[in-house]
Amino acid sequence: AASDVYKRQGTHSSLKNITRSDLFDFFKLNHFRDDVIIAMAGPQSPSEMLNMLRPHLPHEVIDTPRTVPMFQRSAISRPVVKTRATDQLQLSVAYHTPGRTHDWKHALRLLSLIIGETSSSRLFYHLREELGLSYNISSDVVQFHDTGCFEISAGLDLQARDKALHTISDDLDEIARLGPSEAELELSLIHI
């Protein structure tokens, strides 16, 4: 069944076992759904647009179950380090977050703005301006239906890694304990 495609682990052997039928079932489940919205704009009338679109629509719309919930196996930190000869380090720190339907979605966006999305963010100031450790710093929230990720990325000199990680941790701890300042909240409103 199509839902079985979601249950597979993504190992080499499980990928080899995915059939054409599995892929087509996945395609039907996600592209011929009863909740798809098509928006069109242009000089044509709605009936002209519908006539243009109708030949491309499926003959059958499937009443499908909504997305299969993401199962988080553990909250154990799993560092991934790739090494090669270079003068620069690209650092990325990521945290698992709830998806876009969770009540935290707006708070996470605000956190990202305050921590690293702008040139007035905490990490931009601390890592780049104050300590001179980073030539690039950013943060972002990635939100899927039922899971997401809060990510901080930095471009650093090789020897700046430990100090940068310590500073990132300190800034996150401080905002978790004390919350954002009034000035940070006001500045964030400009960027929303």
The confidence score (pLDDT) of residue 1 equals 46
For residue 75, pLDDT beyond 50: yes
In what helix (H) or strand (E) does residue 189 lie, and over which residues does it extend? helix 182-191
How much is the average pLDDT of 53-78?
66
Distances (CA, A) of 130 to 78, 111, 124, 168, 170: 30, 20, 9, 13, 14
The letter for the amino acid at 88 is: Q
Share of the chain above pLDDT 70, in %: 80
Q: Is residue 87 helix, strand or coil?
A: coil
The confidence score (pLDDT) of residue 80 equals 72
The confidence score (pLDDT) of residue 9 equals 59
The confidence score (pLDDT) of residue 138 equals 94
Six token digits for residue 94: 């990521």
Six token digits for residue 90: 């690209």
Window from 52-61, 118-127, 133-142 with minimum mean pLDDT: 52-61
For residue 190, pLDDT beyond 60: yes
Share of the chain above pLDDT 90, in %: 34
How far apart are alpha carbons 132 and 104 in whole angstroms? Answer: 32
The letter for the amino acid at 188 is: S
The confidence score (pLDDT) of residue 5 equals 47
For residue 127, pLDDT beyond 90: yes
The pTM of the full predicted model, rounded to 2 decimals, is 0.64
Contacts of 134 (CB under 8 A, 6+ apart): 123, 127, 128, 154, 155, 156, 160, 164
